[in-house]
Structure 1
Amino acid sequence: MGAEAEERPHGAAVITDGFGLKGPRGWAFREVSFRAEPGTLVAIEGPSGSGRTCLLLALTGRMKTKEGTAEVGGLPLPKRMAAVRRISALGHVPGVSELDPAFTVAEHLGERALLQRRFDGSVRTFLRRPSERRAAARARIDEAVAAAGLDLAALPKGERTSVRDLERLEALRLSVALALVGRPRLLAVDDTDLKLSDTDRAEAWALLRSVADSGTTVLAVCSEAPEGALRITTLDATAADDDEATDEVPEADSDLTEDSAEDTTADTTADTTADATGDTTEEGAADALAETGRA
């Protein structure tokens, strides 16, 4: 049985069918259907305000959906949300898992290692000598930092560099490293390509591809999906009534603006597409996000 476990892919397969989330004022997203094998890079593409973050949080067990079905690593949602949270980790998600600008890089990494040991450590771990526990924590940190491509020596003050002094790409790498400390089967990152130059954007996607190639399934919200990723497209459906012959819709202004309707479709490299509907609203997305404390 141990050999079988070792042969299984580390990443979590993600399967959705008619997946949807509704708030008091409307749908945040709905009719999302796709299948991602373990170790896939999934790019959730679409304009700001189209329910991308809600979909990301729902697939990591942090928001409860209202329709359709989904499985992450064989765990059904929303029935096994807590179990899905245990095998997934959030990188950068504004208002949900943000870096503290006053903390140094070392403080962030040390805190995450302590939390990991506190909540996920086995009894055997607690019985180790303090020196052994510190060595194990350092090894896990070094592994995560290397996987995220974060060069600590190149930072202005090394590990003592404050988050406020990091470049956008460096902060993204740090958030990914913090998530990887827990060795998750599913990594989720929001606003992947936000405020990045073309060069930095290419490096960000190279980072997430390397994480996916190592076996961890990656969900990444973006404005434009890179080549080779499994693309899930969310679109604003404000103009659906004006042009019923197409699913093309105008861009919303922000994740939390009101007075704009939206719809979610899924367009993947496997030609999996969700049906367009006219009753998803940006208010629905805002309400759903507010429940997580983001609004």
Structure 2
Amino acid sequence: MDEPQHAQPTPVEEPLATARGLSLQGPKGPVFGPLDLDLPRGAAIALAGKAGSGKSALLLALTGRMRGVTGELSVDGHDAIRHSRQVRKITSVARIDDLVEPEDSLSLEDCITERTLADAAPARARLANYLHVALLLGLDEPRSTAYGQLSPSDQVRAAVALASIRPAPMIVLDDIDRETTLAEQEILWNGLVKLAAEGVTVIASTSERAAVPLEVTTIEMEALHA
């Protein structure tokens, strides 16, 4: 008599990032938190909130680039509070406020070279990595084009493609809605969903929720302050 067959449990994948009681205090009071988060691998995530709600600061914190953060934060197995340098090495920032963004005067080719040096990325793969993500997101501008000559939508695409030159499990982008229409934002989000399907956790901030697709997880900054 055959033994009964038992279905094997599906393994539960650990989150890419986990935060517990994560907080940041500013001179005028709390910037964000305390908050608890579990960010899955290979997900597109919208960080939604009005200006001044702490979106940019949280993106910096999640990538080990914000000082003064308290609580617990683990990113891909690394303690992002105690070992922020390790987290910076495995995460990538496409654009953050006025802190991280390609220079308007540089051509895309120059931006690729600059980003390769800044991220200590493998020189042999830099162009292939950039072109793969640029194509995935729908950027087809010549590499001789200056970053500042791109449309706001294409600047988002270029920034994300540049952030992918050194492969990283997490890429963050500030203000996907900056100077872009709802229709343009929807197309951009769909591109980020495609990138996430390749195993990258992509987190983008926005104050415009109407353009965020249903398959994108939305984290409400105002709720995190409650």
The alpha-carbon deviation at position 65 of structure 1 amounts to 4.2
Displacement after TM superposition at 1:77 (Å): 2.5
**Larger RCO (alpha carbons 8 Å, 6+ apart):** 1
RMSD: 2.1
Aligned counterpart, 1:179: 163
Within the candidate set 166, 181, 195, 2:179 is matched to: 195
Count of matched residue pairs = 211
Q: After superposition, where does 1:35-184 map in structure 2 within 5 Å?
A: 35-116=38-119, 119-121=120-122, 136-152=125-141, 158-184=142-168
- In structure 2, relative to structure 1, the CA distance for the partners of 1:76 and 1:222 (3 Å cut) is same
Larger radius of gyration: 1
8 Å contact from structure 1 (residues 12, 186) kept in 2: no
Runs of 4+ more than 6 Å apart: none
Q: Which runs of 5+ in 1 are unaligned?
A: 1-8, 122-132, 153-157, 236-264, 267-274, 277-295
Q: Distance in 2 between matches of 1:113 and 1:19?
A: 31
Task: After TM superposition, give the deviation of residue 114 of structure 1 in Å.
Answer: 4.0
Work out whether residues 112 and 162 of structure 2, in 8 Å CA contact, stay in contact via their aligned partners in 1.
Answer: yes
> Counterpart amino acid of 1:229?
V
Aligned to 1:206: 190
Q: TM-score, normalised by structure 1?
A: 0.66
Aligned to 2:5: none
Q: Deviations over 1:170-224 (max 9, x none)?
A: 1110000100001111000000122211221111101111111110011111113
Which residue in the other structure is 2:207 paired with?
223
Contact 1:39 1:217 (8 Å CA) reproduced = yes
2:220 paired with 1:233: yes
TM-score, normalisation: structure 2:
0.85
Other structure's SS at 2:131 match: helix
Structure 2 runs not aligned, ≥5 long: 1-12
Matches within 5 A, 1:9-24: 13-24=16-27
The letter for the 2-side match of 1:204 is: L
**Contact 1:75/1:83 (CA < 8 Å) preserved in 2?**
yes
Q: Distance in 2 between matches of 1:96 and 1:179?
A: 14
Question: Separation in 2 of the partners of 1:87 and 1:191?
Answer: 22
Counterparts of 2:215 and 2:114, CA distance in 1: 35
Tell me the percent identity: 27
Residue identity opposite 1:151 in structure 2: D
Classify 1:230/1:103 alpha carbon distance in 2 versus 1 (closer, same or farther; 3 Å): same
8 A contact 1:12–1:216 mirrored in 2: no
Q: Displacement of 1:120 after TM fit?
A: 4.6
SS class of match (1:39):
coil
